[in-house]
Each structure stands twice: as structure tokens, then as C-alpha cells.
Structure 1
Amino acid sequence: MTIDRRDFTIASLATLGGCPAWAQGKYDPGASNSEIRIGSIQPYSGPASLYGLTGTTQEAYFRMINERGGINGRKVTYISYDDGYSPAKTIEQARKLVESDKVLALFCTLGTATNAAIVKYMNSKQVPHLFLLSGAAKFADPKTHPWTMPWMPNYVAEGRAYAKDILKNRPNAKVGVLYQNDDFGRDYLRGLEEALGDKAKSMIVARLPYETTDPTVDSQLVNIKFAGADVLVLAAVSKFVTQALRKTAEMNWSPTRYISNTAISIDVLKPAGLEKVRGALSAAYMKEPGDPQWNDDAGYKVYVDFMDKYMPGQPRNNVTAVAYGAAVAIAQVLRQSGDDLTRVNVMKQAANLKNLDVGMALPGIKVNTGPSDYTPFSEVQLIEFTGEYWKRTGPVIDTLAL
């Protein structure tokens, strides 16, 4: 399949198997007795292009689903467009998906600023805006945005988890924060400050933002080091985490590093030199592909079989693991929707997931949602990089209790 990374449509074209379609159904735009159309917007180009693997993975997943008879006998047509990680482009593509392609739901669109640009539009149109690849706190608010639900753990809570670990193990730390200058980065900073409490003023010695259009974050890193920080929190996406890790190594500076769980893929760490990242910390909710500790894990084996058959030669990393898990979840939502494929019912089913095992989540971590609980993953586990893989440290943490 040839994919135009600038602006493309991926449609799962496999024919249906022998599973009969529902004879009588309730349908909104994007659904019929033979098809379910869902849309997605991904950064196939631009500063976050590494995450474009999300769309590639999900196209492959729905191709597999269709080869197995579809969902309740219906083919899933997956339509995905590039926004280059630009909010203005996200708005354009969302309108295209809703008004021209007439998708039933928007699924797994990546980014905090990008989703923030369309959240009011999606809610005004009453189109499910599901499993956003963002952990921004404002997206898990069913009272304000009843048609929007995130996928990732809450960034504020993740920041709190780092702060509590710092207070426990590095009580005299001087903390420097490099953060993306939008809700994504500011949520991490907010969590840190809230959990450090009165100590935040004395412990945080530098708070430096970057813009996604910045060519590098070298100057910020120099200034954070100059401020005397011995703990570095990277509330950043892949490109800038890689740059930050490289720069700290170049400066022979070895602070304790906390890395946003959005950028813990081995592919992000490799350019900095894996050995130089040894000792870095993060908070995870997904298994890391390639880590031998999962070789005998049943859920991981299913993921590997999927990758072998439907994505041969493609990277197996945290991005594909997260994308795969989200695809498992949306398939379950559509399955639960049965023959009532209205947008209201799809949203109702998304808010009614109970102990769902998506295969690639860490042991003990499952998806749970409810009408007033729009946080599919409320649990994480702190992890430390060994120089080859991430090692789990400590118990599973309920972030809602932090």
C-alpha cells in the first residue's frame, strides 16, 4: 500500500467473512448494516512524526479485524489524515472527517494542543471524540466535554507521581523542568508543583518552556544546568526528549532524569545513546516491545503475532504498543454497541468499559470507564531505564489517589 504522508486516507478494504450483518439497526452518519467509518488525525509529518506509527498500526489492526469478519458483521473503514502536529491543520482535517467523510466517530487523534483545537467543534457536533492520545486533565471532564474521552493517564497525576518520588528519594533535590509550552507541558508542571507543595518554591530552580516550532532546546538545557538543577523533568515529546538527552550527555551533566511517558520508546532514547540514558525514570502503563521479560506473556504474544503478520518490518515500540491497545479498546466499544450504531450509544459504550484487558497494558492495569469517569487508565507504575530496557520499580500507583 502506498501512503501519501501529506494527506491520505487509509481504508481497510478486506472483504467480510461469513458473519452476517445486523438486519435491523439504528444508524447515525458513518454506520450502516455493512460498514462502520471511523476517522483519525495523526502527525505523519512535522516535529512529532515518530508518532505517525499510530495510524499505520491502527490501519493494520482494522485490516485484521475485517479479514476476520469485521465487527458484528460490518467492515471497519479507517480514514486517517495528516496534520503535521499543527492545530490549524487539525481543525481542517476534523471538519473534513465529520462533514465530508461523515465518520461515526473520531478516534485516537494525537496531541494535546491539536485536540484542544477541535474539542469544542467535536462536542458542538456531538460526534464521539474518543481515546485521544493525550493525558491532559481537561479532556477527562464529562461535564464540560461529554463527547470527548482521552486514552492516556493524566499528565497532572503523572507529575504528582514524579514529585512524590522526588520527595521520598531526593528530598534535597534542585529540580529543573523543561516543558512544552501548551497544556501538555503545563499539566506536568502543575502536578509537580501541587505535590511538592510549599517546597516547590525552593526545590524548583528552573521552569523553562519550549515551542514545538523551536529547532532545538539546547539553550534551555544550558540554563537549567546553570541554575544548579540535579533533577531534570522532561515534559516533552519525542524529538525534544532526544535532543535533551543528547545535550545533557554533551555537557557531561548527569542529573536524575524523569521522562514523560509519551517519550519512553527505545527509538526515542537510542539517538542519545542507550547507555547514557541509564538511570532515567518514568511512569508507564504499557509493556515495552522487545523487552525479554514479556516473552512468555500471553497478551504480548498476541501483539507479536499481529505485528509479524500485519506489520512485518515495522518498528515495535511504545508507539505501536499504545496504538494497538487503543485499537483493541475501540473495537470493544463498537462490539458492545451491537446494532445501535448511533453516536449517543457509541459514547455510552465508551463510558462502560469494565476491566478491559487490551493485551499490552502492564500486569494489574486494565481499562475502566464510567459515565463520570473519563480516565480509561488511572494506574501507572514507575520504571527505571537499565541501559537496555525499562525495569518496573515499586507498586502500581492509583493516580486518582495522588
Structure 2
Amino acid sequence: MTMEHRSHVHRVTAAAGVAALLVALAACSTPAAPSEGGGVPGVTEDTVTIGTHTPLTGPAAAGYAGISAAASAYFEYLNDNGGVHGRSIDYIVKDDGYNPANTQTVVRELVQEDKVFAIVNGLGTPTHLSVIDFLNQNEVPDLFVASGASDWNQPEKYPYTFSFNSSYVVEGAALAQYATDAHPGKKVCLFGQDDSFGAELIEGAEHVLGDDGLVAVERYAVSNPDVSAQIGALKTAGCEIVMLGTIPGFSALAIGTAAQLGWSPMWFATSVGADYVTLSGLLKDAAPQLLDGFVSANYMPGISSDWVKLFSTINDEYNDGAVFDGNTIYGMSMAYLFAEALEASGQNPTREALLEALTSGDLTGNGIVPLAFSKDSHEAYPAAGIQVVEDGVQDYVGSTYRVTDDDVEAIDAAFPPVTEEGIPAN
């Protein structure tokens, strides 16, 4: 059974103390049917229907469930202000529980039964890898995957798939460069998921530190919430900085387990598992102490930007006053980019026109550097900034790194201004 919501999704929250958290977490390629009437799938005179798979339940729901709710809220705001070329956006959100088998089921439903125009912001590396071939074989636009895996940037193999996140390689390199710049000589280690998420973070770190630069590496499986052995091994190795390639629940598990062992290294996390509000909800009263100085990579607007002020207003009005956090900013930023791409596709959008708009080089988004989409690259943001938690506030500290195959370069962030009240001009 799947959970489905249209237009608006209520945020799923998770809260537990450190000890309670440790206990709680213990607990294809069939062709799609042609569209009826031979028209553009998901497009009518009045609506454009799109869909996504995301974990509203399961081990990744904490924090991530709020992304689709935030995107839905932005689309409602957009629809109330005329939509895109007079069409409203109908966003179908289906729960896959962060389980690839469920992902395959719900994505087939979206394509074959709901006849969506595009899949937008499907979440998770192992989950989305299970459907990427199906979507490309059926020529369904597969936009802004909510994962930093490099698989999404293969335009020759997957011409319909486009990334949204800075890649794990980029974030790993940025975090390692910041560790080198700000804390020279410290022993850097890594704790990561046992799939391409963790593997690519290691690749990024070694891009800066060298093949032997990580003092110790430990991995975890999302099916096993007991990470005491891995955290104990990192402590024994004398790690002073631990890079985290973790989803939010396992970021909290790692930090909470270390605290129980009386160990407090510096934590450097990728953006996908670093949202302060989400982690505070998991770590509860211990959060202010355990997260002070917490370092993370990011590429979305910071808390003092005009984008965040706009999104906060939208959240209050269209998202039932849900907790406003980094996942909210992420979801609304992604939704804005889809609206921008749809507007650029013209009065009568087709899937082909949508892809042409994406690769034109004309879209801006609202990230830390201009979008990098082109005919030859489906990478959104080839850079990441560094955020640090100080006195309960998570914000940029001024370090932004652009990562290439040959170099890691310090650059200035360049967030674009808000125009037209955050609504792409028709």
C-alpha cells in the first residue's frame, strides 16, 4: 500500500531524545502505456500534472517528509498567482518509504496510471537508481533528483535525468578543503552510508586529502540502526574531524552514540543530513551542546537571504505553519526551478521543449552559483558553501568552493535576487 497526496502534503515529524532515538530506529523496465488521445502526458489546457516518490514513512522520513510538503506549498502559492502560462501545477506525491521496491511500484503508477508530465525531485540514491532506466527508456523527464549521486549527470546515457543537489563528490571535496584550511593537521575520518552516497563522499574527500588522507572510514546500512561499533572504531582511531555521509536519522545516531561514548569530535556533514532544525528535533535537549560548531556543506540560500524571507511567508500561509527548516528551503527552491523551466518551455509545453529549456543555459535557479545545466552537463550546482552552527544558528561562514576534476577553488557565493515575488514571469 502506498501513501499519496495531491497538491499539499502534511509534514511528518520525528522527535526523540538521544537514548530514545537509538531505540526507535532499532525498531525494471516495462514500457509505459501511451497517453490517451495522443496528447502531451500530464498537460491539459488548465493543468500540468507532475509527480514524485519520497519517504513520508520509514528511516528517511525525518526531515525529508517536509520537502514535498514545502514544494506543494510553493506550487499552491504559484497557482494562486496565475500558475505558469495560465496552467496550475498538480503535484502528486507518493510515499516509497525509502525502499527501492516501493519506488518502482509508485513510479510506474505515476507514469502509467497518472500519466504525469515529469517526475520531479524523486528522493534517494538507492531508491532513484531503481527507476532511472525505466524513466529514460520511456522518455519521461526525470528532473532535479534529490540526491547528490553523480549518476544523475550522465546526459548521453540518461538524457532525461537532471540533478539538483551539489554532488557528494563536490560536497566531500568542499568539506575536506575547509577542514584543511580551517583546521590544518587534524585527523580527518569518515562515516558514510554503504552505497554510492558514502563512496562518492570518500571520493570527494580523497580529491583533496589524497588516497591515504582519511585516517579511518566506517560505513553503515540503513537497515541496521546500531552504529556503536563503527563510532567506537572511529574514536579508537583518534579521529578529530568526522565527515558524515548520512541521512538525518543516522547523523543523529552517530552524534548521539558518540556522546554516549564520551567522545566529541568535530562533525562535518553533507547537506542531505545536516539540517539543524531536523537534527535538533531528533537529539532534543542535548542538541544545543552536541551541535554547537557543527559544520556542513550547502548550496541553497542562507537564512538571511530574501529567498528565505519569501519562503517563510509562503510556509506560513500555504503549509499549515509547518516548522520552517532547511528542508523547506530546499523543497521550495526546487519547485521554483521547475516553474522557471516550465515557463521557459512556452505556452504549449512538451517534454522535448522542457529539456531544451533546461539545457539552454538560460535558467538561473536560486543556488550558490549559477546553474551549470547544458547540452553536455546535467549537473546543477558544481560548488558548495560551508555552514557552521553557532549559538543555535546555522549559516554560511564565507567559504565557498567550486570543485573540478583538477582543482578545488575558493569563490564568492552569488545567490540571485528574488524577482517578481518568486514567480517566473509569463
- Residue 180 (structure 1) aligns with: 193
Q: Within the alignment, does 1:282 sit opposite 2:292 as a pair?
A: no
Q: CA deviation at 1:367?
A: 3.1
Alpha-carbon offset, residue 11 of structure 1: 3.9
Q: In structure 1, what is the equivalent of residue 205 of structure 2?
A: 192
CA–CA separation in structure 2 for the residues paired with 1:299 and 1:167 = 31
2:309 & 2:179 partners in 1: Cα distance? 35
Q: Which letter maps to 2:338?
A: I
| Counterpart for residue 68 of structure 1 | 81
How far 1:6 moved relative to its partner? 4.3
Q: What's the counterpart of residue 273 of structure 1?
A: 287
Q: 2:307 and 2:178 mapped to 1: Cα distance?
A: 30
Which residue of 245, 259, 266 maps to 1:256? 266
Shift of 1:357: 4.5
1:315 aligns with 2:323: yes
Residue by residue over 1:213-240, the C-alpha shift from the partner in whole angstroms, topping out at 9 and shown as x without a partner, is: 1123222111111122122111100000
**Aligned partners of 1:389, 1:27: CA distance in 2, in Å?**
49
| Kept in 2: contact 1:237–1:262 (CA 8 A) | yes
The question of whether the paired residues in 2 share the 8 Å contact of 1:367 and 1:376 is answered with yes
Matched residue SS, 1:381: strand
Question: What is the root-mean-square deviation of aligned Cα atoms in Å?
Answer: 2.0
Amino acid at match of 1:283: A
Determine the C-alpha separation between the residues in 1 that align with 2:395 and 2:42.
43
Match of 1:208 among 211, 218, 234: 218
C-alpha displacement at 1:303, in angstroms? 1.2
**Number of the residue aligned with 1:139:** 152
In structure 2, the partner of 1:386 is 390
Give the conservation status (yes or no) of the 8 Å contact 2:170–2:383. no
One-letter code aligned to 1:10: R
Alpha carbons 2:177, 2:208 under 8 Å: kept: yes
Residues 2 and 106 in structure 2, CA contact (< 8 A), matched pair in contact too? no
Determine the structure 2 residue equivalent to 1:351: 359
Q: CA deviation at 1:157?
A: 1.4
Pair 1:328-2:336 in alignment = yes
Aligned AA (2:196) = D
Moved more, 154-163 or 38-47: 154-163
Question: What is the match of residue 371 of structure 2?
Answer: 367
Give SS of 1:229's match. Answer: coil
Q: TM-score, with normalisation over the residues of structure 1? A: 0.87
1:98 aligns with 2:111: yes
Whole-angstrom distance in 1 between the partners of 2:264 and 2:7: 47
Q: Percent identity?
A: 27
The alignment covers a number of residue pairs equal to 372
Residue deviations 1:122-165, cap 9 Å, x none? 11111000001111112112122111011000111111122223
- State the distance in 2 between where 1:354 and 1:339 align: 17
Q: Quote the Cα distance in structure 2 between the aligned partners of 1:49 and 1:194.
A: 31
Q: Which structure carries more relative contact order (alpha carbon 8 Å, separation 6+)?
A: 2
**Residue deviations 1:270-306, cap 9 Å, x none?**
1151222212211121235xx5xx1xx4322211221
Q: How does 1:34-49 map to 2 (within 5 A)?
A: 34-49=46-61
Distance 1:226 1:326, change over 3 A: same
Match of 2:137 in 1: 124
1:59 counterpart (72, 75, 85)? 72
Deviation of the 1:258 alpha carbon: 0.7
The CA deviation string for residues 345-395 of structure 1, in whole angstroms up to 9 with x for no partner, is 11221223536243xx45xx3434211221222222112221311242234
- Which 4+ residue blocks in structure 1 deviate beyond 4 angstroms? none
Aligned to 2:309: 301
Q: Take 2:121 and 2:191, find their aligned partners in 1: how far apart are those partners?
A: 26
Matched, 1:154 2:150: no
Contact 2:170 2:384 in 1 (8 A): no
1:96 Cα deviation from its structure 2 partner: 0.7
Alpha carbons 2:125, 2:196 under 8 Å: kept: yes
Partner of 1:233: 243
Structure 1, gaps ≥5 residues long = 13-25
Deviates more, 1:327-336 or 1:139-148: 139-148
Q: Does the aligned pair in 2 maintain the 1:27–1:341 contact within 8 Å?
A: no
1:16 corresponds to: none
Q: Which moved more, 1:94-103 or 1:205-214?
A: 205-214
Whole-angstrom CA distance in 2 between matches of 1:396 and 1:172: 21
Of 3, 9, 23 in structure 1, the residue corresponding to residue 5 of structure 2 is 9
Q: TM-score, normalised by structure 2?
A: 0.82
AA at the equivalent of 2:373: T
Q: Secondary structure at the match of 2:106?
A: helix
SS in 2 for 1:396: strand
- Mark the CA change 1:11 to 1:287 in structure 2 (over 3 Å): closer, same or farther: closer
Determine the C-alpha separation between the residues in 2 that align with 1:211 and 1:322.
Answer: 25
CA distance in 2, matches of 1:110, 1:250: 31
CA shift for structure 1 position 179: 0.6
Q: Distance in 2 between matches of 1:275 and 1:219?
A: 23
